[in-house]
């Protein structure tokens, strides 16, 4: 592998790690979960997730900065939606792994 390819791979790994870090926050995962099927306003998300509006707005800003969510304005409302449906699929796959691991751990505990 050439030095340039190695550098490109390192940059790709860093971008990947940054994305994973962005998704390591439970509130951000909840936001993506709530937006997976339909767009919602900030007030809808606040009531569904149960966080303060200021806190939610900060998380939405971070998700927008990483192009994970997008928004559109309609009158006084701003509607948010998932920018890339594949990110929802990725989160669902990770959740499946978590469930499988929890199930395996439970079996180990029961077999003691």
Structurally, how many domains does the chain consist of?
1
**Alpha-carbon gap, residue 14 to 16, rounded angstroms:** 5
Q: Indicate the pTM of the whole model.
A: 0.84
Please give the helix or strand (H or E) that residue 15 lies within, else none: helix 3-22
Range of the domain at 74: 3-110
Are 36 and 69 spatial neighbours (Cβ–Cβ below 8 Å)? no
Residue 8: the pLDDT is 79
Residue 53: the pLDDT is 96
Residue 110: the pLDDT is 80
Residue 1: the pLDDT is 66
Residue 20: the pLDDT is 94
Tens-level pLDDT at each residue, the chain (112 residues) = 666 667 778 999 999 999 999 999 999 999 999 999 999 999 999 999 999 999 999 999 999 999 999 999 999 999 999 999 999 999 999 999 999 999 888 877 888 7
Residue 109: the pLDDT is 80
Indicate which CATH number applies to the domain containing 88.
Answer: 1.10.10.10
């Amino acid at each position: 592998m050439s030095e340039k390819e190695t550098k490109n791979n390192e940059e790709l790994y860093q971008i990947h790690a940054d994305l994973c870090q962005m998704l390591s926050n439970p509130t951000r995962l909840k936001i993506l979960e709530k937006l997976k099927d339909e767009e919602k306003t900030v007030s809808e998300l606040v009531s569904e997730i149960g966080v303060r509006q200021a806190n939610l707005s900060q998380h939405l800003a971070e998700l927008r900065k990483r192009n994970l969510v997008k928004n559109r304005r309609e009158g006084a409302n701003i509607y948010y939606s998932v920018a890339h449906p594949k990110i929802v699929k990725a989160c669902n796959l990770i959740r499946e792994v978590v469930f499988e691991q929890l199930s395996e751990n439970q079996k180990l505990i029961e077999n003691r």
